[in-house]
Structure 1
């Protein structure tokens, strides 16, 4: 994106972003840092969503002129990369694998879910992310270590982690949408009445049978765990 948020053609250079020191190198010490700018952007996104994150808004939050931010984050695309890696630092990376790779993968997915629930903008941001910063790389390293007992090749391990992360991000987007719908009891009641009518119209016997089956726990945690178990327990082949 360009400075006004429009898409650019160059994209983010990961080596420049993560391996080159940021900010002015000469003159007096600046009153803020790239870390402070990133933290301010995350706070805005947590409270108001990604659309509220603009260079002007973040500059206001840190008490800086908008032009001075461009030494640290030249555009919103770069700022988004910084934000994703910043919150990825909340993920623990030092736990040693247990040797039970399926259990370890499930634990990793639950950590990702908790992170995305704390930062509901993150699933959408991951879809636009182009690079892996140091915090994301550290968590990837943990996941690859957990997958070592599988005997999978390197490319397959990377695919498994990508598949797991995509599942968690998609499910959290679904969770957030369902939670918003649940806050509207009239809508929920109308949907229930509709499904009941459809299931008893004689044209949807499979649906009628499915809806008549014994109920399961519908808490978000229980639902996520069931879906996750189906995914992870079916992994293992190249």
Structure 2
């Protein structure tokens, strides 16, 4: 991801980022906080996309000088880590597992989808996000507890949660992209005629059978639920 000009990034140190107090390295105490900086970056990304988030734009949002922001987030990658964990705080983490791991996993996936739909930049950010902060870890803990009845060991449960998150992120990215494309009724009708012609040519029997099958609800919620059920069914261990 492109970076702003400024101090060269030296890599993200999770211990420094999450376990030590956030404070500027030099100068007098500023009138803003790391939390305010992160919230401003999230608001900017929500409104204009992640590409709009630059240190200069965020500094303008909080009324700070650009250089002062580097005391809290030395580069955009660090700021992105802060943003991901900030919005992860919207995920409820305190609900105890019900004992039905499939139902719990479905509930977790729907919570993730709702979060990503509120913050459409999040699926892309997760692809480069490597250091879960306290909010993200609280949700991971909930997911691991929900998966305990599967009998999988801890490493496998982590893999299942990663697989679930990747599925949700990919689905939401596709879902969001489709909502930005305007398809005219004429285009939709032309596509339907084309598929009907292909299905009738005798060379695509599987496609013809699929198109002839009873239709299913195509609302975003229904489609996501069907795909999610197939994923979870594939994870069953009994």
Regarding TM over 0.5, the answer is yes
Aligned to 1:96: 96
CA distance in 1, matches of 2:118, 2:187: 26
CA distance in 2, matches of 1:187, 1:43: 35
Which deviates more from structure 2 when the two are superposed, residues 169-178 or residues 125-134?
169-178
Any conservation in 2 of the 1:3–1:74 contact (CA below 8 Å)?
A: no
Could you give the per-residue CA deviations for residues 85-108 of structure 1, whole angstroms, max 9, x where no partner exists? 000000000101000011000000
Shift of 1:11: 2.3
Aligned to 1:129: 129
Aligned to 2:225: 225
Aligned to 2:57: 57
Any conservation in 2 of the 1:80–1:125 contact (CA below 8 Å)?
A: yes
Any conservation in 2 of the 1:152–1:236 contact (CA below 8 Å)?
A: no
CA distance in 2, matches of 1:9, 1:27: 21
Any conservation in 1 of the 2:199–2:205 contact (CA below 8 Å)?
A: yes
Any conservation in 1 of the 2:112–2:168 contact (CA below 8 Å)?
A: yes
Segments of 5+ residues of structure 1 without an aligned counterpart are: none
Which deviates more from structure 2 when the two are superposed, residues 83-92 or residues 197-206?
197-206
| Distance 1:2-1:70 versus aligned 2 partners, 3 A rule | farther
Aligned to 2:183: 184
Segments of 5+ residues of structure 2 without an aligned counterpart are: none
CA distance in 2, matches of 1:200, 1:43: 50
CA RMSD of aligned residues (A): 2.0
CA distance in 2, matches of 1:2, 1:192: 41
Shift of 1:176: 1.2
Matched positions, count: 236
Which deviates more from structure 2 when the two are superposed, residues 195-204 or residues 134-143?
195-204
Q: TM-score under structure 2 normalisation?
A: 0.93
CA distance in 1, matches of 2:49, 2:224: 23
